[in-house]
Amino acid sequence: MSDNETSAGIGPTGVPIEETPDSDTEVCSREGHLGASGNALLRADEVTAGYLPGVSILNGTDLYANEGELVGIIGPNGAGKSTLLKAMFGLVKITSGSVVLRGEEITNRKAHELVPLGVGFVPQTNNVFAALTVEENLEMGVFLRPRAFKERFSFVTDLFPVLGDRRAQRAGSLSGGERQMVAMGRALMMEPSVLLLDEPSAGLSPAMQDEVFFNTKQINQTGVTVVMVEQNARRCLQICDRGYVLDQGRSAYTGPGAGLIDDPKVVELYLGTLGRASL
């Protein structure tokens, strides 16, 4: 690394998002990122948000997802990945910046207003009703449009046949991987155009993790835009079209998923030991 290459320096393929473009490097300025996001389905611009007054967790975070894209968000623990998804889904208050869906501003719109607009969210934890059956969980997903149940149930069980086989089983008695399918399936019942997934592979065995990544890709291939937060950097970047590295509440790097995997600086600077271990 040369002396003038700071921690905001670039890797061969990942590009940092900065205020000021640097002509010597492949820097993507904020303006450049904003420009590229012109036709995005979902866009977060300079979002500042947090849980307590005066304490920001997101400090001007940018992100966009084009229609049909699979976008991954990686970064160290506490970087604000979950907070970003929750802020876009109206669960954490945004104090400045904006979130735009299909050109319409949705900043601080509540989750129950966003679901009918086509936004689905699968939280990191507690994402199924353990005491309810698989079928009841899926019914909860579509309670706003009960007449759509049959058609959506068959869409979800085509994607996840095991949920059809286990429709009468209580979700709490399923394996972790199956529960994750129920959680994703429930969000899919409302036919979202964009699905926000928070660490769907967390806590699963390696074989089940593979299945979750496969399922996520499959969901995306049905035409659903996916924004996925993941600790498992390599697998996430392998399947996503574009990735973001979030660091201290800011989008530090973005680039094609496959490019970020090979970017040593992304690994070294933003993922550290954890990144090296999972890469």
Ligand X SMILES: Nc1ncnc2c1ncn2[C@@H]1O[C@H](COP(=O)(O)OP(=O)(O)OP(=O)(O)O)[C@@H](O)[C@H]1O
- Contact residues for ligand X (CB under 6 A)? 51, 57, 75, 77-83, 231
Chain position whose Cβ is nearest to Mg ion: 82
Q: Which is nearer to Mg ion, 32 or 123 (CB)?
A: 123
Contact 62, 16 (CB under 8 A): no
Cα distance between residue 5 and residue 171, in whole Å: 51
End-to-end CA distance of the chain: 21
Least distance to Mg ion from the beta carbon of 250, Å?
16
Determine the interface stretch with Mg ion among 54-62, 75-83, 86-94, 263-271 (rule: CB under 5 A). 75-83
In the complex, the smallest distance separating the C-beta of residue 63 from ligand X, rounded to whole angstroms, is: 13
* Contact by Cβ (8 Å): 19, 27: no
Q: Which is nearer to ligand X, 142 or 227 (CB)?
A: 227
Cα 124 to Cα 180: distance, rounded to the nearest angstrom: 10
Shortest separation between residue 76's beta carbon and ligand X, angstroms: 7
Among 37, 56, 61, 82, binds Mg ion (CB under 5 A): 82
Least separation in angstroms between residue 85's CB and ligand X is 8
Closest to ligand X by CB, 125 vs 154, is 125
Q: Which does 43 bind (CB under 5 to 8 A by kind): ligand X, Mg ion, none?
A: none
Question: Which of ligand X, Mg ion, none has residue 196 at its interface (CB below 5 to 8 Å by kind)?
Answer: none
Cβ-based nearer residue to ligand X, 201 or 231: 231
Residues 6+ apart with CB under 8 A from 242: 69, 71, 72, 254, 255, 256, 257
Using an 8 Å Cβ cutoff, are 272 and 102 in contact? Answer: no
Nearer to ligand X, 81 or 265 (CB): 81
CA distance linking residue 102 with residue 235, whole number of Å: 29
Quote the least distance from Cβ 80 to Mg ion, whole Å: 8
What are the structure tokens assigned to 14, written together?
């990942």
Which of 70, 94, 118, 114 has the alpha carbon at shortest distance from 238? 70
